[in-house]
């Protein structure tokens, strides 16, 4: 079946603009995770959901970042008033459940803030 998809794949925005990044998990996957990956580094956790409930948002760097998954499927990560330091690859992953250990990653959204 289809894997995790993310859109857009590339996003260039001006400093101060808001952006919304979308993640469509594998069908039937309960858990959805957002990570951010800087160049040359491993992914770093941002937040995760079980169904529509946000279980942990401890990795969100500040209150400009928010995420939702209103119907327990597609999720949106929103960054308000973007800054150049927000430039990174944003990756989404899903798993069958939190007891289903491996996470399957999407291709990522490359965000560049100019």
Partner 1 sequence: AQSVAQPEDQVNVAEGNPLTVKCTYSVSGNPYLFWYVQYPNRGLQFLLKYITGDNLVKGSYGFEAEFNKSQTSFHLKKPSALVSDSALYFCAVRPLSSGSARQLTFGSGTQLTVLP
- Residues lying near partner 1 in the complex (CB under 8 A) are found at 3-4, 31, 33, 35, 40-45, 48, 55-56, 59, 91, 93, 98, 101-108
Token pair 């973007």 in the structure block, residue? 82
Distance CA 78, CA 13 (A): 13
Least Å from the CB of residue 2 to partner 1:
13
Q: Which is nearer to partner 1, 71 or 101 (CB)?
A: 101
Closest contact distance (angstroms) between CB of 80 and partner 1 is 23
> Quick one: 82 or 95, whose CB is closer to partner 1?
95
DSSP 18-72: -EEEEEEPPTT--EEEEEEE-TTS--EEEEEEETTEEEE-TT--STTEEEE-TTS
Smallest distance, partner 1 to C-beta of residue 86, A: 20
């Amino acid at each position: 079946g289809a894997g995790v998809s993310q859109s857009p794949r590339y996003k260039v925005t001006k400093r101060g603009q808001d952006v919304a990044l979308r993640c469509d998990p594998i069908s039937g996957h309960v858990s959805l995770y957002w990570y951010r990956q800087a160049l040359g580094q491993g992914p770093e956790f941002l937040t995760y959901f079980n169904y529509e409930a946000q279980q942990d948002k401890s990795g969100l760097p500040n209150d400009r970042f928010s995420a939702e998954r209103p119907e327990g499927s597609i999720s949106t990560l929103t960054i308000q008033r973007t800054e150049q330091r927000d430039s990174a690859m944003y990756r989404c992953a899903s798993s069958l459940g939190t007891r289903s250990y491996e996470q399957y990653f999407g291709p990522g959204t490359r965000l560049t803030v100019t």
